[in-house]
Amino acid sequence: MTLALFLIFDPVVVWVEQGRRIGREQEDELTAKQLRKASSNLTAALFALELIKESNTPRAELVSKASKLLSEASEELKKALHSDQP
């Protein structure tokens, strides 16, 4: 019982736990940022593809833009999904 109280109130243990919590929060924020960026790129790519279907806009330019956005989204998703791995 005394050891448990010591561990709960030991400033070093508290400091280490706070550091872990802050580290997890920062990782979560980075993952969320990467997912938002990937989502934005996917939405823009889908919009470009819809324009290709519905307009006379030069297709090569839109396809190139959509391809670039999809590639960027893929990279952001990879980063987000593998951010917890060393």
**What are the sequence ranges of the domains in the chain?**
35-86
pLDDT for residue 5 is more than 50: yes
Distance CA 77, CA 6 (A): 43
Instruction: Express each pLDDT in 14-58 by its tens digit.
Output: 777 888 888 889 888 888 888 888 888 888 888 877 777 777 767
String of DSSP letters for 28-83? HHHHHHHHHHHHHHHHHHHHHHHHHHHS-S-HHHHHHHHHHHHHHHHHHHHHHHTT
pTM of the entire structure? Answer: 0.57
